[in-house]
Amino acid sequence: MTTPSMMPRRRFLRGLGAAVALPTFASLGSRAFAGDAPGHGADGAPPLRQLIITVAGGTVIESWKPKTPGPLGPKLPSILRPLEPYSKDLLLLSGLSHNGRQEGGGNAHTHCAGMHLTGTEVFRWEGKVAKSTISVDQAAAKAVAGYTILPSLELGEPNGEQTFSWSESGSIVPYERSPRQAFDRLFKGRRPTIPNWKRQAGRSSAPKPGSVPASDDRLVIDLVLDDAKAVRARLAHADQARLDEYLDSVHALETRIVRLDQRAAADSIDARSAGASAAGSHGSGIVLPADGPGWDLKWSGDDPELRAEYFRLMTSLALLALQTDTTRVATLSFGNDGELWDGVVTVTNEFHHHTLEHQANAEPIEKADPLSREACRQIHQWYSVLMAEVIGKMKAIDEGGTSLLDNTLLLYTSYMSNGGHGTKDYPILLAGRAKGSLKPGRHVAYPKDTPVANLYLSMLDRMGAKLNAFGESSGRLSDLT
């Protein structure tokens, strides 16, 4: 077993490491462990993961889209130039659009945000409450639910009304903003441990939990479930939904405690098994900073350098979560339209992203301010530098002959197609091979207005969700393999 170069900073939560006998959750056992379904580790190979990284501001399409479809040459358009070393790993998709509508009077940013990962036909404001349909990350999480400690991980800095992840019931899934909190959520009380996929190939169920006293949280949950049921029974029907939501979240937490116990048992078998040395031969590759102020970084509105540090730390945490099979679905959101880009933007004295976005886009495009457009190009090229680091890290993580990049479906995009609230021709970059289900090194151009939702449906196929449609999808994307 290897662990990353950093020990959990806080003392372990007592009791969480112990296995617990949980009769009510016996049914979870059948699906509670890596290794019982094709593509989920049964073949001794690591499972497929989904990683989405999305940024603000759209792109500057003429500096992003290659002139022709087909194989990518060594030279890429200027925004993607920092990614040229990985051009064989990239699959660029152009022509994809969102065509959904917004109801109930939000602005154009909330509209784009509500469609972004949902591809929804209708994004609605019911008074002050936003409603969308399930997002691709949550749908993927649902497809692989039961294999990992966390069904999904949402990290980063969504800006105000810009909310990307939506549950099946159409409510907002919040993002964890603090690296410190994210670390605790992922690894508190345990060492970040990479599973021994080969050993687990032969198994079909989780190790039997032992019989020890129930943990604190297990007892706490028993009580609050009783409380919630008692409260619920006394409420009018329409109010009971509030308690149902509470109960759902308690059950999610309860499931996580079971998973943690099962995972602790699996890790300890891995540590003793014959394959341990093999498993241990490939290190995590992820280096986290030592405990300190760096862990309290926030997305800085003023300082791009601090933003870069935040990006690196949050992506590292996500990669570590995927590598250690703490989750198989991670979504990271970076950037809002309100930040300043002093130091990255060098061609104008205007550094405010939203202002630049609007000045850089106009109908017709000739009426736009070319300097602002160049400034936006600089911003997105800056993001590409960071994305190149992410792809580099993923390629360097060996999972026993294949890399984490090979085993991940990585989508890099933005919540608008351009800074003028564009919803047509999004910048869509896939990276890696998704366990052989993608053929990278190409640019594929799709017919105008092809829904982004078609891509999401194709992604969900790969994640094992068996859906007929997703959002406004009109079918599946051809030519991905």
Q: Under rule CB under 8 A, which residues in 135-164 are in contact with other proteins? A: 154, 160-161, 163
Task: Compare residues 142 and 352 and give the one whose CB is closer to other proteins.
Answer: 352
| Interface segment toward other proteins; rule CB under 8 A; list 227-235, 311-319, 383-391, 461-469 | 227-235
Closest to other proteins by CB, 343 or 392: 343
Structure-block tokens of residue 307: 């933003």
**Segment lying near other proteins (by CB under 8 A), choices 50-58, 90-98, 246-254, 275-283:** 246-254
According to CB under 8 A, which one of 185, 307, 433, 462 is a site residue for other proteins?
185
- Which CB atom, from 107 or from 205, has the smaller least distance to other proteins? 107
Pick 227 or 479: Cβ nearer other proteins: 227
Q: Please, what is the minimum distance in Å from the beta carbon of residue 338 to other proteins? A: 5
Q: Give me the 351-390 binding string for other proteins, x by CB under 8 A, dash otherwise.
A: xx-xx--xx-xxx---xxx---------------------
How many residues bind other proteins (CB under 8 A)? The answer is 77
Residue 142's nearest CA partner among 166, 162, 121, 122 is 166
Question: Looking at beta carbons only, is 78 or 99 nearer to other proteins?
Answer: 99
Contact status: 107 vs other proteins (CB under 8 A): yes
Residue 137 exposed, middle or buried by CB count within 10 Å (0-12, 13-18, 19+):
buried
Distances (CA, A) of 443 to 65, 88, 384, 414, 479: 8, 11, 17, 18, 10
Q: Looking at residues 397 to 426 of the shown chain, list those that interact with other proteins (rule: CB under 8 A).
A: 420-421
Q: Is the peptide bond before 364 cis (omega within 30 degrees of 0)?
A: yes
What is the CA 197 to chain-centroid distance, rounded? Answer: 22
- Report 429-468 residues binding other proteins (CB under 8 A): none
Rank residues 171 and 273 by Cβ distance to other proteins and give the closer one.
171
Tokens 């499931």 correspond to 255
Verify binding: residue 342, other proteins, rule CB under 8 A.
yes
Q: Which of residues 249-288 bind other proteins (CB under 8 A)?
A: 249-250, 252-253
C-beta neighbour count of 449 within 10 angstroms? 14
* Shortest Å distance, C-beta 479 to other proteins: 29
Among 62, 168, 227, 479, binds other proteins (CB under 8 A): 227
Q: Measured from the CB of residue 71, what is the shortest distance to other proteins in angstroms?
A: 35
222 is a site residue for other proteins (CB under 8 A): yes
Chosen residue from 3, 9, 246, 467 binding other proteins by CB under 8 A:
246
Two tokens, residue 52? 């989405």
For the segment 22-81, give every residue that binds other proteins (CB under 8 A): none
- Contact range with other proteins by CB under 8 A, out of 44-52, 84-92, 169-177, 321-329: 169-177
Q: Which of 245, 346, 396, 479 binds other proteins (CB under 8 A)?
A: 245
- What per-residue string of b and e applies to 350-375 under the rule 16 or more CB within 10 Å gives b? bbbbebbbbbbbeeeeeebbebbbbb
